[in-house]
Structure 1
Amino acid sequence: MPKVIHTADEILQKDFDIKMRGYDQVEVDQYLDEIIKDYGTFQRQIAQLKDENARLKAEVEKLNREQELYSQAPKQNQTVTNFDILKRLSNLERKVFGNQLDQ
């Protein structure tokens, strides 16, 4: 990342030499004031983006750990057939209704 050459305070404190045919000092000061405001805005945006970047990196790391744990977990046979469903339903009915089904 490129290094910042001037801080907002350095820009604010900068004095230019006045020559015979120079720029309007008030106009230069107003322009530098605008630059200082922009500079502060950029610094706040950079800080916010760094915070967001750190938060997102932590979230990605957390999701990667979860994915790793999930991938290491033993795989269960998740194929359920209609026969399995009917068998479970039959067992449930027997437990709920007991011997009433056999009559």
Structure 2
Amino acid sequence: MNTDKMHLDGKAILEKEFKNAMRGYNQEEVDEFLDLIIQDYETMSQEIERLRQENEKLKRSPSRDASRTRPHQPINQNNQVNYDVLKRLSNLEKAVFGKKYADS
């Protein structure tokens, strides 16, 4: 994933202000949910950076024994966590921005 193509970061989410509407959402509830999103974005950014560093380290090291360079965590588990985070984010985008945003 290329972070240069990402539109949001924790700061952008935190500073986003929405217009008040007569029959709108509970502002405190939305703020609490956005706080969770900020935490997820920051966790995801840290994980991306960690993986980039690990990738560079592995590129620099000679691969005599492939089993030695692999992390001990199962690859399937990491992929499942990434999928779950992306699925939650997609559902959140649909909830916040509506179906129109999800279709574009």
TM-score by length of 2: 0.56
Equivalence for 1:51? 53
Query: Any stretches of 5+ residues in structure 2 without a counterpart?
Result: 65-104
Structure 2 residue matching 1:19: 3-state secondary structure: coil
Q: State the identity %.
A: 44
Q: 1:54 deviation in Å?
A: 0.2
Q: Distance in 2 between matches of 1:58 and 1:20?
A: 58
Equivalence for 1:27? 29
Deviations 1:8-66 (A, max 9, x none): 10100001111011000000000000000000000000010000000000013x75xxx
Does 2:14 align with 1:4?
no
Q: Distance in 1 between matches of 2:61 and 2:43?
A: 27
| Equivalent residue pairs, number | 62
CA RMSD of aligned residues (A): 1.4
Q: Which residue type is aligned with residue 28 of structure 1?
A: V
Structure 2 residue matching 1:20: 3-state secondary structure: coil
Q: Which residue type is aligned with residue 34 of structure 2?
A: L
**Structure (1 or 2) with the larger CA radius of gyration:** 1
The runs of 4+ residues in structure 1 deviating greater than 4 Å are none
